[in-house]
Structure 1
Amino acid sequence: MSEQKIATLFPGQGSQVVGMGLDLFETIPESRIVFETANEVLGFSLTDYCFGNGADDESRAHKELTHTAICQPALYTHSIAILAALKLSPDLVAGHSVGEYSALHACGALSFEDGLRLVRRRGELMAMAGQGRPAGMAAVIGLSAEAVESICEKVSIRESIVVCANYNAPEQVVISGDREALQLAECALKSAGARSLMQLPVSGAFHSPLVSAAREALAQELASVTLKPPVCPIYLNVTAQPARDPEHIRARMLEQLTSPVRWFQSLQNMPEDMHFMEVGPGRVLTGLVRRTLGRKVKVSFIGTAKAVATFMAE
Structure 2
Amino acid sequence: MTTAFLFPGQGAQVVGMGADVASAYPAGAGIFERANEVLGFDLRKVCFEGPAETLNTTTMSQPAIFTTSAALLEVLRTEPATSGIVPQITAGLSMGEYTALYAAGLVRFEDALRLVHKRGQAMQAAADATQGAMVSIMGLDEDKVGLLCREAGQGDLLEPVNFNCPGQIVVSGTIGACERAIELAPQHGALKAMRLEVAGAFHTAMMASAADALRQALSACQIGEPGRIKTPANVDAQYYPSAASIVDGLTRQLTSPILWARCMQRLLAEGVDQFYEIGPNRVLTGLMKRIDRKAKVVNLSTADSIKALIEGA
Give the structure-2-normalised TM-score: 0.93
Alignment partner of 1:301 is 2:299: yes
Give the Cα–Cα distance (whole angstroms) in 2 for the partners of residues 72 and 211 of structure 1: 16
Query: Which among 113, 116, 119 is matched to residue 116 of structure 1?
Result: 113
For each residue in 1:51-92, what CA deviation from the matched residue of structure 2 results, as whole angstroms up to 9, or x when unmatched? 11xx6xxxxx11110011110000000001111110142110
Q: Secondary structure at the match of 1:175?
A: strand
SS of aligned partner of 2:214: helix
Residue of structure 2 equivalent to 1:103: 100
The answer to whether the Cα contact below 8 Å between 1:232 and 1:244 also exists between their aligned partners in 2 is no
1:282: Cα distance to partner?
0.7
For residue 119 of structure 2, give the secondary structure of its aligned residue in structure 1.
helix
Look up the match of 1:312.
310
Q: Counterparts of 2:100 and 2:143 in 1: how far apart (Å)? A: 28
Counterpart of 1:200 in structure 2 is: 196
* Aligned counterpart, 1:58: none
CA distance in 1, matches of 2:150, 2:2: 40
Q: Cα deviations across residues 183-210 of structure 1 (Å, max 9, x unaligned)?
A: 2222332211000111111111111111
From 145, 149, 152, the equivalent of 1:152 is 149
CA contact (8 A) 1:110 1:227 kept: yes
Out of 60, 67, 72, the position equivalent to 1:82 is 72
- Show the counterpart of 2:237: 240
How many angstroms does 1:211 deviate by?
A: 1.3
Equivalent residues of 2:138, 2:190 under 8 A apart: yes
Q: Indicate the residue corresponding to 1:287 in structure 2.
A: 286
For residues 221 and 129 of structure 2, the distance between their equivalents in structure 1, rounded to whole angstroms, comes to 30
Partner of residue 133, structure 2: 136
- In structure 2, what is the equivalent of residue 9 of structure 1? 6
Residue of structure 1 equivalent to 2:164: 168
Percent pairwise identity: 39
Measure, in 2, the Cα distance between the counterparts of 1:197 and 1:42.
37
AA partner of residue 115 (structure 1): A
Distance 2:189 2:154 in 1: 23
Over the aligned positions, Cα root-mean-square deviation in angstroms equals: 1.3
1:136 aligned counterpart, secondary structure: strand
Identify the range of structure 1 (102-111 vs 144-153) with the bigger mean alpha-carbon deviation. 144-153
Post-superposition CA distance 1:225-249 (Å, at most 9, x none)? 1111233110110011222311111
Q: Deviations over 1:293-313 (max 9, x none)?
A: 1x2211110011121122233
Question: Distance in 2 between the 1:132 and 1:257 partners?
Answer: 15
Structure 2: distance between partners of 1:218 and 1:275: 33
- What amino acid maps onto 1:51 in structure 2? F
Unaligned runs of 5+ in 2: 78-84
Quick check: 1:286–1:299 contact (8 Å CA) kept in 2? yes
Deviation (angstroms), 1:273 = 4.5
Distance 2:272 2:162 in 1: 25
Kindly state the Cα deviation for residue 153 of structure 1 after the two structures are TM-superposed: 3.2
- Give 1:97 deviation, angstroms: 0.8
Q: Structure 1 residues 295-304 or 242-251, which shifts more?
A: 242-251
Q: Residue 164 of structure 1 contacts residue 173 of structure 1 at CA under 8 Å; is this kept in 2?
A: yes
Q: 1:273, 1:217 → 2: CA distance? A: 35
Asked if the contact 1:290–1:297 (Cα under 8 Å) also holds between the matched residues in 2, the reply is yes
Tell me what 2:124 maps to. 127
Counterpart residue identity of residue 166, structure 2: P
Deviations 1:65-124 (A, max 9, x none): 001111000000000111111014211011011100000000111110000000001000
Judge conservation of contact 2:160–2:170 (CA < 8 Å) in 1: yes
Query: Equivalent residue of 1:108, what SS?
Result: coil
Contact 1:108–1:229 (Cα < 8 Å) also in 2:
no
Alignment-derived partner of residue 219 in structure 2: 223
Q: Distance in 1 between matches of 2:145 and 2:96?
A: 24
Which of 251, 255, 267 is equivalent to 2:252?
Answer: 255
CA contact (8 A) 2:7 2:93 kept: yes
Partner of residue 67, structure 1: 57
Other structure's SS at 1:90 match: coil
Is the CA contact (8 Å cut-off) linking 1:25 and 1:32 kept in structure 2? yes
Amino acid at match of 1:26: S
Contact residue 233 and residue 242 of structure 1 kept, 8 A:
yes
Q: Which residue of 1 aligns with 2:261?
A: 264
Partners in 2 of 1:243 and 1:83 — Cα distance? 21
Do 2:182 and 2:194's aligned partners in 1 also have CA atoms closer than 8 Å? no
5+ residue gaps, structure 1: 56-60
The equivalent residue for 2:80 is none
Find the aligned partners of 1:117 and 1:47 in 2 and give their Cα distance.
15
Distance, in Å, in 1 between the alignment partners of 2:94 and 2:130 is 22
Name which of 185, 188, 213 aligns with 1:189.
Answer: 185
* Matched AA of 1:174: V
